[in-house]
A = this chain, B = another copy of it.
């Protein structure tokens, strides 16, 4: 059991804030060393973690049988020896990332002997609410420690045993380092805890809800705390008139079939009218062969002529299937494709397939999304693939952080001003003038 179970959420958050003030002053080496120790502890305690996970799976089994828990969720809940080894490896990966703190983002000489430094620093305290997947706890805890933040974690009740053991493994490992406060990571236990947490905008700097769109919107509507989360992932593949047919088919298939439940999977393929006749029959056949249900506009159905194609309605353009279903539409121009995407898309990730550099540049400038690609699958939209090392989540909002968010999303900055006694009065009076010379 964690020691924090008896605290109120407010007390937990207050302790987290105190912890954050100390975490912000740790050196890069101190943070890295603790992470490596935590990774070792995860490996050493693998049997305990697996035993706790078996308990959770045992309890979940009748829920699946009774249809109260999806098989997909059950699968995400289960871990294995390999899963535990990967947890440790990810923690080591986060330890190896470059220090996100104390970076000089800008330096300006406001005047002689009056220099302004914009320096990256931790946010303070953030909270993550997630379900199932046991690997999330060490992943988030390591991102938090690497970036000098305290974190409050609320996992799904279905993974309570696993998360409780992971939390205690983490705390024990960290307790070897007296400079690291025990309250750097703490668990919340109930839904009521989450509702309490949402009121604490004076103590918590960011909430990251990882779950359904309606859950994210619920959190946004019920808190003053800034939220980093994502709504829908309605991603598009646009096959331009100047597309290379092989690339077009490869990218469209990969974007849908490679992992259809992912938020960066494509939901709609737009095909330029000039290449529709040449391309659509093969594309539709490949989708059908891959077990994908195809919902198509009338022109597509005419060109393909396969009765298995279902007539698409406007609702299809607005739907995240998260499944082996794809919508296909013929468009008359690049403009029409861009307009469709900006109207129906969710600003997540959209790609153009074309050999025409001008069309690609136009598409990339005008599509309003966190990721805009040229000749690449939408599935690349991911923190690991982007080289961020680890992912806090993917944001479809535009403020603070956008797209796959790694350590940088857990930092803010502070302005340090170093002077020798300057007063504003002497500048207001005109006695002195600002120089504003950028030094970096």
Beta-carbon contacts of A208-228 to B below 8 Å, as 1s and 0s?
000000000100110010101
CA distance A380 to B114 in the complex (A): 10
Partner of A24, one of B224, B365, B402: B365
CA distance A221 to B199 in the complex (A): 10
Give the chain B neighbours of A397 by CB distance below 8 A.
Answer: 205, 226
Contact A251/B423 with A226-B397, A368-B24, A416-B364 known, Cβ cut-off 8 Å: yes
Q: Contact between B226 and A380 (Cβ–Cβ < 8 Å)? A: no
Copies of this chain, count: 2
Beta-carbon contacts of A305-320 to B below 8 Å, as 1s and 0s?
0000000000000000
Give the chain B neighbours of A372 by CB distance below 8 A.
Answer: 414-417
CA distance A415 to B381 in the complex (A): 9
Q: Contact between B251 and A421 (Cβ–Cβ < 8 Å)? A: yes
Contact A418/B108 with A224-B220, A224-B221, A226-B226 known, Cβ cut-off 8 Å: no
Q: Contact between B110 and A380 (Cβ–Cβ < 8 Å)? A: yes
CA distance A380 to B373 in the complex (A): 43
Q: Contact between A385 and B418 (Cβ–Cβ < 8 Å)? A: no
Whether a CB of chain B sits under 8 angstroms from the CB of A403 is: yes
Whether a CB of chain B sits under 8 angstroms from the CB of A155 is: no
Give the chain B neighbours of A116 by CB distance below 8 A.
Answer: 386-387
Contact A247/B421 with A224-B221, A226-B400, A400-B399 known, Cβ cut-off 8 Å: yes
Contact A427/B373 with A124-B368, A244-B421 known, Cβ cut-off 8 Å: no
Give the chain B neighbours of A206 by CB distance below 8 A.
Answer: 398-399
Whether a CB of chain B sits under 8 angstroms from the CB of A133 is: no
Contact A254/B110 with A123-B398, A400-B400, A419-B374 known, Cβ cut-off 8 Å: no
A residues 383-440 in Cβ contact with B at 8 Å: 385-387, 397-400, 402-404, 412-425, 427-428, 434, 436, 438
Give the chain B neighbours of A385 by CB distance below 8 A.
Answer: 110, 424, 427, 434
Q: Contact between B21 and A368 (Cβ–Cβ < 8 Å)? A: yes
Whether a CB of chain B sits under 8 angstroms from the CB of A25 is: yes
CA distance A415 to B398 in the complex (A): 12
Q: Contact between A110 and B425 (Cβ–Cβ < 8 Å)? A: no
Whether a CB of chain B sits under 8 angstroms from the CB of A379 is: yes
Q: Contact between A376 and B418 (Cβ–Cβ < 8 Å)? A: yes
Whether a CB of chain B sits under 8 angstroms from the CB of A377 is: yes
Give the chain B neighbours of A20 by CB distance below 8 A.
Answer: 368
A residues 350-390 in Cβ contact with B at 8 Å: 351, 353, 360, 364-366, 368-377, 379-381, 385-387
Give the chain B neighbours of A221 by CB distance below 8 A.
Answer: 224
Whether a CB of chain B sits under 8 angstroms from the CB of A342 is: yes
Give the chain B neighbours of A365 by CB distance below 8 A.
Answer: 24-25
Q: Contact between A398 and B205 (Cβ–Cβ < 8 Å)? A: yes
Distance between A418 CB and nearest chain B CB, rounded to angstroms: 5
Q: Contact between B258 and A424 (Cβ–Cβ < 8 Å)? A: yes
Q: Contact between A380 and B424 (Cβ–Cβ < 8 Å)? A: yes
Give the chain B neighbours of A351 by CB distance below 8 A.
Answer: 417
Q: Contact between B424 and A374 (Cβ–Cβ < 8 Å)? A: no
Q: Contact between A424 and B110 (Cβ–Cβ < 8 Å)? A: no
Give the chain B neighbours of A386 by CB distance below 8 A.
Answer: 108, 110, 116, 415
Whether a CB of chain B sits under 8 angstroms from the CB of A112 is: no
CA distance A124 to B24 in the complex (A): 33
CA distance A400 to B397 in the complex (A): 11
A-B contacts, 5 listed (Cβ < 8 Å)? A24-B368, A226-B226, A369-B414, A377-B423, A387-B438
